[in-house]
Each structure stands twice: as structure tokens, then as C-alpha cells.
A and B are shown apart, each in its own frame.
Chain A
Amino acid sequence: MRDKIFNFTIRHPLWVILALVTFAMLAAAGAQKLVFKSDYRVFFDENNPELIAYDAMQKIYNRSDNVTFVIVPKDGNVFTREHLSALKTLTEKSWQVPYSTRVDSLTNFQYTYAEQDDLIVEDLVMDPLSLTPGQLASIRQIALNDPQLVDKTVSGQGHVSTIEVAVKLPGIDPAAEVPEVAAFVNNMRDEFLTQNPGAQVHLSGMVMLNNAFTEASMKDGATLVPLMFATVILIIGFLLRTISGTVSTVLIIFLSIGSAMGLAGWMGLYLTGASASAPTIILTLAVADCIHILASMFYEMRRGVEKKPAIIKSLQVNFKPVLLTSITTAIGFLSMNFSEVKPYHDLGNIVAMGAILAFIFSVTLFPALLAVLPVKVKVEPQGSSNMMSKLADFVIKKRRLLLPSVSVVVIALALFIPKNEINDDFVKYFDETVPFRTATDFMQENLSGMTLLELSVKSGSPEGINKPEFIKAVSDLSDWLRQQPETDHVNTITDTLKRLNKNMHGDDPAWYKLPDSPEMAAQYLLLYEMSLPYGLDLNSQLNVDKSSTKLIATFKNLTSQEQIDLAKRIEAWFAQHSPQYQLDLASPSFMFANIGQKSIVSMLIGTLAALILISFILAFALKSWRYGLISLLPNIMPAAVAFGVWGLIDGQIGMSLSMVIGMTLGIVVDDTVHFLSKYLHARRENNSDAKAAVHYAFGNVGSALWITTLVLVAGFSVLAQSSFKLNGEMGLLTAITILIALIIDFLLLPPLLMAIDNKKSKQHNSKAAANEFTPEPAA
């Protein structure tokens, strides 16, 4: 039956090509339906508690996505007529930023003071060009002493200031909204720099972070990813020395990716940060499938076999292991459907489809193409298999040395796994060539970090925020937060209340304290609320029935783990000191931190579980528990060693690195399956002893495995050059893992097989006992 299909393919290649290319085109057409969702919400279930808390916070107060202009005057002094005037102009222009809802700067800070019985509320900087030196000094004095301004809006030395634009993205088309805002503020910056030569402007904030992400992935997508594909293609061509073979392989790669992504489109799936790596994973699978078939075919042809019989022979030899690899890889990826992070379901399903499609194409379309295209191979008695033969001899000869020494190295490296911590630092995803990184570093050094945390304190009753005991609790929380080493700034309503109390008592500094009755607090706030202009109101700090208030704390740039720890510490402190009130924490960066941790853990556990599951399936397929168990070693150890190595060289595992096991799963399993099945074939069909079987396996699949490895290591090394760590580190560790997988398959697995099987054959001779289901496979 199988041979019938092979023969049909070779006899009517054009029909096969026509049918499959048509199918692939129809499937790939669905790719137009694929929508990319950059919204982090896709990572959550609708009933995820953190998402619910965050949504509630957004609805109760105003939302806090932001763009921060960090402005450095040319002479290092913010408080000059010229610079304040430029700042005021830029502040006014900032109201024009798309989706902006609020603008806070030094110039529009609502400064309150008393003048006899008048309360004066006005912009801190009204008419900058007419300011006297005395007035400039007084503005400086006010700004550098106001807890709301200093270290947030203006640096303590008065040499840098910021304009913070709050932005509420409608979220209808996030892929367009973020770049729209970014383009607008970039343009504002350029204009400002032309008008104010010598000044510097840096752009940071959440919107700019999101934009940097998009820009970096697009940049890599336009340059490094194509370069990676080109490298893969070039090296295949170079190593196999065949144009037709390379062209056919490239076609299979693109059709597999295209059809899998297209089917995903037809199925109504959407692309996310997670499923966007599906094409690269499918690339590895398609490359491996094709190279096996090509390598065997060339092996035959070098021995003088004609092209068509060589193709058929190659298919006969490779059909089973390629099928087994594809099915187990597909099942492994399908197991991602158990992940609690939804986008990984899509990734798993798309790659599973890709694995099966790559299999189908490589055993039908691929041989058909090879049958049609001219392929010439020099007949030579000794080819690259000679090199493999030498390697086999070496491994067999040194097996007693290799087994312990490689084991020790592998185990020693794997022991460094605990040196890794699961962590993400979004700012450090970008290297110093990326403007967002320099802007954020500059802001951190001179003012504050960009980690924001919103703290909603709930009194539990309407108007409850006016109660002196509640205000005291909020004020204590603010003071405690300010003492924390990570804290740069805290924005709290209690500062406003103290200031108003002072204003109401003729600006007497002795009255800079919290009001002592609910009526007083309520009436001060009413007075203040009634005095503020458009966009600068208290709605972002107080909810409608005044039962809760929101503090905004700004911290140094923190990693996701540090943020999660900090949040826990704050919650614990508040629960201990003010158990009668409820505290909710949320912020976009905090959400990212949580999502990150969750999806990293989910991905690592999911792919590890998939590898174990695959070994069990292999036990069934190879009809041997023993080889199933042995397959655990080459399946799991590459990732273990790679992460151990990572623990030594870096030690931070972020979202991108959690993808590595998934990225390499197909190749690792491919190595295992091909080597083991060839070994078993020799043992069972040819009744070879362990040494001869190892030699046979090296001779048959050795070169295919090392070509595949070399091709993919080169490809991922290209990706490792990215200035965007998300891609760069992922590329690097993937290359390392693939290389380690080959080393284990070549240097550790064979000595182990020989050790076990030699022992077993001795037992077999004496006891005639085997723990296999059936002694022979049905070939």
C-alpha cells in the first residue's frame, strides 16, 4: 500500500505536484483572515481574577497608559524664562496628542496659595517670558519642595523635567493606535528640538514601551527573520550541493508554513505574541523531514542507484521515522491545549497542523518535485558517510570513556538549572541602540523609573474617604511607600489635603497637616475640585461616591519578579496596619509582570510534559518500554543542559526563553526517533549486536542529523544577533539546545545503548528473559 503511493508519486509527479500545490494554495489563502492581537488581554481567561481587578480599577478611575517627555534644557537649568516658555508651549501642544486625556507638567501644575481670604489656584507658570529673577527663584523653590512634583515632574537639582501625557487608547485597533500616538509625539519632539537647539528630549512611558515592542518585532521581521531563512536555505544548498534539492526543500518549508497559518486563518484563530513563533517552529520541522529524505536518496545515488529507485528507497526507509516524529511532535504540541494561558492553545494547534502538513508534503510533493527536477549526484564509493563511519568507530571504541565522561558533563551542566530565575525586565529587552532604552535609562538616572503601581484604597462606605482615620491610613501608607528603597515617587490625595489645610489657614506652615474632621476634608476637596481646570481634576484619584482613593506609586525599573514581590510586601504591610480597609493593586506593568510569570511557567511545564508524553508514545510505537524510557534521556536532557548553560551565562528566563523548549521540541524528537529507530531496525531486522547497530544508525541517519543541526544552528544564530532580546536570546538558546541535542544523540545515547544492550544480551543468553512486548517490530 505504502509502496503503491510512492510508485504513483514517482510515476505521475506532475499530478501530485498540481494536487498538493492547489491544496496548499487554498489552505494558505486563509492567512488573509489572520489578525494579529497585540492586546495583552488575549493571555487571560475572562474570569481571571487579576484581569477583573484591573478592569474594575480602569472603570472606577481613569486609565493610566502614558507617554513621558523627559526634557533637558541646554544649560542644565529648567528655571529660565526661555526654557519655561518652551515647556509651556510643549505642554499646551500635548493636549493634541491623540487619545490624550490629561497632561501634567511643571508649567500647568495647579499651584494653590492663600491671599487674605482668597484661595488662588493657578498654573505654576503663567506668563514665563515676563518672569523676574525673583519670581523664577520662587517657582524653583515651590517646585523643588512640592512632594507631588519633585522626582517625578522635576528632578531634585532642577536640571530635568517631564511632561506626562495620560492616554486612553480606545482599544478598537491597538495595532494602529499605539504607532499613531508614537508618531505624533516623535514629531512633537522633532519640532521642539528644531525650535530649541541644544535641548534634549527623551520619550518614555508605557505607550512608548509598547511601540518599541512593535517596532523591534517588525524590524526583526523585516530583516533578521528573512536573513535567518536565507541562511538556512544557503547552508542546505552548500551542504547537500544540490540546487533542485534546495529549491524543493524551500518549497516544502514555505508551503508547510503557509498552509498551517492559512488553516489557522480559516479556523478563525488569531495571531498573538505566542503563536507568532509558529512559522519558525514549522520551519525546523520541515527542514528536518526534507533533509532525511534527501540524505537517504543521495546516499543511494552515490552508491550508483538511479534517481527514481533512490527516491523510492529513501521513502521506504524514512517513512516510518518521519511519520513517528511528526505524530509525536504534533501530539506534543496539542498537549499545549491544557495550558491555562490561551494563546498557547493556538500555538500548539497551529504547530501540530504544521507538523502533519510538513510530513504530508515531504512524503508526497517533495519526492514528486525531486522526480521532476534534474538531480545529479556523482557516484563515489566514499561520501560523507565515511566521516560518520569514522565517528561511529570512535564512539564505539571509546564508549567506556564516553558514557561516564559525557554523563558527568551533562549532569554537571544540568545542575546549574537552579541558577536561573524566572524573570522579565521589559526595559532590558532592548539594547542601548534602541531610543526607548536610552530614554528610560536616562529617566531612571535623573528622575524616576517607569514602573507604576496604582493602589486603590477602599473605605467601604460612600464619602468614606473624608474620615480622619481613613485619611490617616492612606497617609501612613504613602509615608511607608516613600521609605521603600524601590520607590521614586508617590502621588497621594493626602498631600493635597495637607496643602489645602495650610492654604485655608493663611498658608501657615504649622497647618500643613491632615484635616481633623470629615466635614473639613470634604469641604476642602469640594473647594479644590471646583477650582481645577479641564483635564486636571481629581477624578483620577477619587471614585464617584468618594468611597475610595487611588495612589500612584512610581518605582525604579523593576523586573517582573521584583514587582510581584513588592506588591506582596505592600499588601502584607497594609493588611497588618489597616486591616479594616481594602487595598487593590493594579497597573499595566504589574499586569505584564503577572502575565509573564504565568505564561513562562505554563510554557515550561507544558513543553516538558509534552516531551515526557512523547517518550511514552515512543514506547508504544517502538513496542518497547525500555527504549521508551531511554528516549526520555535524549528528549529531555538537551533542554536541561541548555538551561543549565543559560544559568551559567545569564540566568534570567523571560517569556522568550520559555519558548525555547517548544521551539526545539520537534528537532530534539526528530534526532531521537531517527537514531533510535535505525538502531532498532538493525537490531531487530538484521539481528545485529549493539555495536553494529550503532554503526548502522550513524551510517544511515548521522549525516542527515548533523546537516539538520548545522542548518538550524546557523539559522538561529542569525536571529541571535537581534538588538531585541526577545528574539536574540531565544535564537541563541535555541541554537545551543539543538547543538546539545545532537551531541547527546551522538556521544551519550550510543554508549548508553551499547552498555544496556550488551548487559541485556548477556542476561538474555543466560535467562532468555526480555521486558519487551514483542521481540520483533512489524516493519
Chain B
Amino acid sequence: MTINTSIKKALATITFAMASFSALALSPAQQGMEIFTEVKKRDIGWGDSKADMQMILSNEHGQKSVREIKIKSLEQENDGDKSLTVFDKPRDVKGTAFLSFSHTTGADDQWLYMPAIKRVKRISSRNKSGPFMGSEFAFEDFSSFELAKYRYNFLGEEQLGGKDCFKVEQFPVDKNSGYTRRVVWVDKQEYLEQKIDFYDRKNSLLKTLTYSDYQKYPGNYWRALSMNMVNHQNGKSTELKWLNYSFNTGLTEKDFNRNALKRTN
């Protein structure tokens, strides 16, 4: 073999490799989008659910506070889900109920029933980015995942806690979001979110959310029974513990309107 032919061969190999790569490869944006299309696809069709949630708030000083709520959710096609939240603890807010129609874009519709004054108040605000019940979770961290809420950028693959994961950046579309971006780790096997880093408006790391204790429910729907949010800037953290998940409990639109708010007790 002469030097000349070996060079030709090498060149041919490189050219072929490059050609096949560009044909197969998607742009990082498309790749990220695809991963989350799969995430969403695997969680469609659950209908409605009920669950109890315990929220444990702690600060850097070691003070803790526990809040208990019940949540009913109704899946919506082509928009954010509807949810009804009833507060059990702390005692002074027992019976307070919160109804929310979340939307892919724009402000959510929200109503609060306050037993102390026996009134339903509609809340008009741009609070998506604000904290839920004083916790480290913002409203936008709770609301259902919709593909159109973000632009995507595939960052690569990474091992996380022994699982092979995709690492994808998400850029919120809504200008009222409190984040410039989120970095999400999704495991390759079940397409479940394992960890999210949140970057604030000046693109500094603000919070990290870690999902654990995933359980599989009938119909192949997975839910993490524990979610831990740590705020790196103020040293506070919030842990969510989910109990008594049940699906297809027969909830309908009627269970998610203003009148339903007062009936919760």
C-alpha cells in the first residue's frame, strides 16, 4: 500500500463519517425537543388523580414547618391541567381551597376560597414565578409540563445516581417566568425527570430539585413520591412527600369550578 492510497482511504472514511453523522444528527434544539416529546408522550392519558401532600419547609437556622394539603388534578388536552388544592395544615388555614387552571402561555386562572370570610376570591396576578405557600417551589415548578412552555437545547448524556440520563437545557417562553433556564436530567429508560437545576434571571444557579422514590401506578404512570428543592442562595429547602396517589377516581370538570371550592369541606 502506498502512502498515497492510504491517505485517500483515510479521507474517504472521514468524509463518509461526516456525511452520515450530519444526516443522522439532529440539532441540539431538535434533540432536546425530541426527548421531552417522549417524556410528555409517556405521561398522557392519566385522566384525573388525587393525592395527599406533605410539605416540609426548613431554613438555614434549622427551623422547620410542615404543611399538609390534598390535591385533585384533571388532565387537559392542549392546555395546562386543572387542579384543586385544599389546605389541612397549618390549622389557621384549614379548609382554605385553591383552584387553578394553568395555561401553557399567559397567566393562570386562580381562585381562593377563604373560610374565615366565607368568600371565593379570584386572584389576578402574574405570580407564576412566585413561591407556593412560602415554600421554595414556585407555581411554575408545580404546574403540569407542557412541551410548548420551553425552547430546548440538548447538552449531552450523563450518569446520575447510577442511571444513564439525558441532560437538556430548557428556556422558558413566558416572560413572566422567574428563570432564564433550567437544566433537566431525564433517565434514558423511563424518561423520568431525575434532577433539575434552576437558573435565576441573572443566570446564577438558584435552586436544585431532586426527584426520588418513583412509583409506578396502573396504566404505566410514574410519580415521584419525594421531591426535594434546595435553594442555594438563601439556604432554605422544601421537601414534598406524596401519599395516597390514586388515578381515574371519576373526577369531572364539575369538580373544578368556583362552586366546588366551597364544597371541599
Contact B133 A530 (CB under 8 A): yes
| The stretch of B2-10, B72-80, B86-94, B239-247 that contacts the partner chain | B86-94
Does B163 belong to the interface (CB within 8 Å)?
Answer: no
Contact A466 B112 (CB under 8 A): no
Q: Which of B13-68 contact A (CB under 8 A)?
A: 57-61, 63-65
Least CB separation from A116: chain B residue = B122
A523 cross-chain contacts in B, Cβ below 8 A: 92-93, 96, 114-117
A101 cross-chain contacts in B, Cβ below 8 A: 233-234
Contact B126 A462 (CB under 8 A): no
CA distance A59 to B125 in the complex (A): 29
Contact A545 B63 (CB under 8 A): yes
Does A688 belong to the interface (CB within 8 Å)?
Answer: no
Contact A527 B123 (CB under 8 A): yes
Contact A463 B90 (CB under 8 A): yes
Contact B61 A529 (CB under 8 A): no
Does B138 belong to the interface (CB within 8 Å)?
Answer: yes
Least CB separation from B234: chain A residue = A62
CA distance A646 to B128 in the complex (A): 60
CA distance A123 to B124 in the complex (A): 11
Does B201 belong to the interface (CB within 8 Å)?
Answer: yes
Contact A118 B93 (CB under 8 A): no
Q: Which of A526-560 contact B (CB under 8 A)?
A: 526-527, 529-539, 542-547
Q: Which of A478-533 contact B (CB under 8 A)?
A: 504, 517-524, 526-527, 529-533
| Given known contacts A95-B201, A504-B117, A532 and B133 CB-to-CB distance under 8 angstroms | no
| Given known contacts A527-B114, A546-B65, A466 and B92 CB-to-CB distance under 8 angstroms | yes
B128 cross-chain contacts in A, Cβ below 8 A: 533
> How many interface residues does chain A have, given as a range?
35 or more
Q: Distance (Å) between the CB of A108 and the closest chain B CB?
A: 11
Counting chain B CB atoms within 10 Å of each CB, the highest count among A122, A520, A539 belongs to A539
Partner of A533, one of B92, B123, B129, B133: B129
Contact A536 B92 (CB under 8 A): no
Q: Which of B104-148 contact A (CB under 8 A)?
A: 110, 112, 114-117, 119-134, 138
Least CB separation from A168: chain B residue = B233
Partner of B125, one of A58, A100, A120, A535: A120
Q: Distance (Å) between the CB of A581 and the closest chain B CB?
A: 17
Partner of B124, one of A121, A466, A543: A121
- For the complex, would chain B's binding face be called helix, strand, loop or mixed by DSSP majority? loop
Q: Which of B185-209 contact A (CB under 8 A)?
A: 200-202, 204
Contact B91 A122 (CB under 8 A): no
Q: Distance (Å) between the CB of B133 and the closest chain A CB?
A: 7
Least CB separation from B117: chain A residue = A504
Does A60 belong to the interface (CB within 8 Å)?
Answer: yes
Does A124 belong to the interface (CB within 8 Å)?
Answer: no
Q: Which of A438-490 contact B (CB under 8 A)?
A: 462-463, 466
Does A251 belong to the interface (CB within 8 Å)?
Answer: no
B120 cross-chain contacts in A, Cβ below 8 A: 117
Contact B134 A544 (CB under 8 A): yes
| Given known contacts A504-B117, A533-B176, A544-B63, A118 and B122 CB-to-CB distance under 8 angstroms | yes
Partner of A122, one of B60, B126, B236: B126
A546 cross-chain contacts in B, Cβ below 8 A: 65, 90, 134
Counting chain B CB atoms within 10 Å of each CB, the highest count among A95, A530, A531 belongs to A530
| Given known contacts A117-B119, A466-B92, A529 and B131 CB-to-CB distance under 8 angstroms | yes
CA distance A626 to B130 in the complex (A): 77
Partner of A517, one of B116, B127, B178, B233: B116
| Given known contacts A59-B60, A59-B61, A96-B202, A530 and B112 CB-to-CB distance under 8 angstroms | yes
Contact A520 B126 (CB under 8 A): no
Contact A522 B134 (CB under 8 A): no
B61 cross-chain contacts in A, Cβ below 8 A: 56, 59-60
Q: Distance (Å) between the CB of A177 and the closest chain B CB?
A: 13
Does B156 belong to the interface (CB within 8 Å)?
Answer: no
CA distance A462 to B89 in the complex (A): 11
A462 cross-chain contacts in B, Cβ below 8 A: 65, 90
Contact B130 A504 (CB under 8 A): no
CA distance A665 to B235 in the complex (A): 47
Contact A527 B59 (CB under 8 A): no
Does B166 belong to the interface (CB within 8 Å)?
Answer: no
Contact B234 A168 (CB under 8 A): yes
A117 cross-chain contacts in B, Cβ below 8 A: 119-122
CA distance A534 to B136 in the complex (A): 11
Does A119 belong to the interface (CB within 8 Å)?
Answer: yes
Partner of A519, one of B92, B119, B235: B92
B59 cross-chain contacts in A, Cβ below 8 A: 59-60, 543-544
Does B98 belong to the interface (CB within 8 Å)?
Answer: yes
| Given known contacts A120-B124, A523-B93, A534 and B178 CB-to-CB distance under 8 angstroms | yes
Least CB separation from A118: chain B residue = B122
CA distance A168 to B202 in the complex (A): 14
A536 cross-chain contacts in B, Cβ below 8 A: 130
B129 cross-chain contacts in A, Cβ below 8 A: 533-535
Q: Distance (Å) between the CB of A120 and the closest chain B CB?
A: 4
Q: Can you report 21 residue pairs joining A to B where beta carbons are below 8 Å apart? A: A59-B60, A60-B61, A99-B204, A100-B202, A118-B121, A118-B123, A119-B121, A168-B234, A462-B65, A523-B114, A523-B116, A526-B133, A530-B110, A532-B125, A532-B127, A533-B176, A536-B130, A539-B234, A544-B59, A544-B65, A547-B63
Chain B residues near A (Cβ < 8 Å): 57-61, 63-65, 87, 90-93, 96, 98, 110, 112, 114-117, 119-134, 138, 176, 178, 200-202, 204, 233-236
Given contacts A530-B112, A535-B178, 16 further A-B contacts (CB under 8 A): A59-B60, A60-B61, A466-B92, A517-B116, A522-B116, A523-B93, A523-B96, A523-B114, A526-B93, A530-B123, A531-B123, A534-B178, A537-B134, A544-B59, A544-B64, A547-B63
